[in-house]
Amino acid sequence: MTATPSDSSDREGPSERSLELGLRRHPLTDAARARIRAAAEAEWRTVARQRWTRSRWAGLAAGLAALALITVAWLRPSAEAAVVGSVIRVDAGTLETGSLPLLHGTLGPGNALRTGERVTAHGAALVALTTGGTLRIARGTVIRTLDTDEIELRNGQIYVDLPPTLPRELHFTVRTAIGSIEHVGTQFEVTTGARELRVRVREGQIRLRRPAGTETAEAGTELVVPQTGPIVRLPLKTFGRQWSWVEALAPDFAIENRRLADFLDWAARETGRRLEIADGHTREVADQTRLHGSIRGLTPMEAIDIVSSATSLRFELRNDAIRVSSGG
């Protein structure tokens, strides 16, 4: 075998430069390094937080501490593979899991999505989160589940719906190579690629953290976040065709024996519109009317059509509101 004649000193053995050329490697791109950092930092925060929590217990009596640890171990037999959520639906495709080549599996309705998994959505999917709320994943998206309340969006588009009824202390975080998004009781959509991150806030408020600082955004705002440079804020409609992929993945609402008022609340949230009840009488009718049947498989807009035709109330779909009145 002959080596590259990098310089004349190779006749006596390779020079230090030749050794460097032969041994040095730079396999990570900036984007890859940023992704690794986001995942490693998330893990580190979890470990540090757990350790801090544990240290508070250290002062207690050994018996109590042992009992607490046994209890925790019993309640969480596999902390490394906690359940992030349950797959409700996968439209026209599969959810492929596996962090290593040739070790892929698929997830379908009813399967648990666990921490530490890399998931590629070959079809649009709906996942009910263990923390409460739902995660909708667009076709072609790649995510990694870091914790029960933390996911990494590697590429593609997701929609997180965490109803305001969830505990305030819940901090769901979406990490990307460009920045991390934390919800403050909200619905939001995140899209990321190699160069740009887009966050569209449909309800509530989110907090975006990145090395350059922290930003917040309210409902009706779109943030365009480049890898470097200033963030662009754009006004955003919370309703309309741009949300159709999200509405197509809305979780089914079981209407049997539910109040019409509950259905209206659900339909308004899922279509990104305000609910306008015309008057007290209409409110009373909506509260007292019980629905029967099923709207399974229908989009929220289709469900509104069906339900409105079955009640005595009049539904008007305006741009940003659903107005319900007693008719006339």
Partner 1 sequence: MYEEDRKLVGRMLAGDQRAFDAFFCAYADRLAAFAARRSNLTADGIEDLVQNSLIKAIRNLATFRGEAALFTWLCEICRHELANVLRHGARKPAHESLDDDRSASEELLELRAPAEYEPPHELDLATHRGAIAKTLNSLPERYARALEWKYGDGFSVEEIARMLGVTTVAAQSLLARAREAFKAGWHREQTQ
Whether the Cβ atoms of residue 66 and residue 107 lie closer than 8 Å to each other: no
> Is residue 212 a contact residue for partner 1 (CB under 8 A)?
no
In the list 101, 110, 213, 297, the residue contacting partner 1 (rule: CB under 8 A) is 101
Subset of residues 39 to 98 that bind partner 1, contact rule: CB under 8 A = 39-41, 43-45, 47-49, 51-52, 80
Beta bridge partners of 150: 147, 173
> Is residue 37 a contact residue for partner 1 (CB under 8 A)?
yes
* Cα–Cα dist 108/119, whole Å: 12
Give the Cα-Cα-Cα angle 200, 30, 212 (nearest 5 degrees): 50
Looking at the Cβ atoms of 39 and 219, the one nearer to partner 1 is 39
Helix, strand or coil, per DSSP, at residue 102: coil
The residue count of the chain comes to 328
Whether the Cβ atoms of residue 239 and residue 246 lie closer than 8 Å to each other: no
> Is residue 3 a contact residue for partner 1 (CB under 8 A)?
yes
> Is residue 32 a contact residue for partner 1 (CB under 8 A)?
yes
In the list 61, 75, 92, 103, the residue contacting partner 1 (rule: CB under 8 A) is 103
107 class by beta-carbon count within 10 Å (0-12 exposed, 13-18 middle, 19+ buried): buried
Binding mask 116-155 for partner 1 (x = CB under 8 A): --x-------------------------------------
The residue range among 28-36, 189-197, 213-221, 230-238 that interacts with partner 1, by the rule CB under 8 A, is 28-36
- Structure token digits, residue 199: 């966050």
Q: Binding residues for partner 1, per CB under 8 A?
A: 1-4, 6, 12-14, 16, 18-29, 32-33, 35-37, 39-41, 43-45, 47-49, 51-52, 80, 99-103, 118
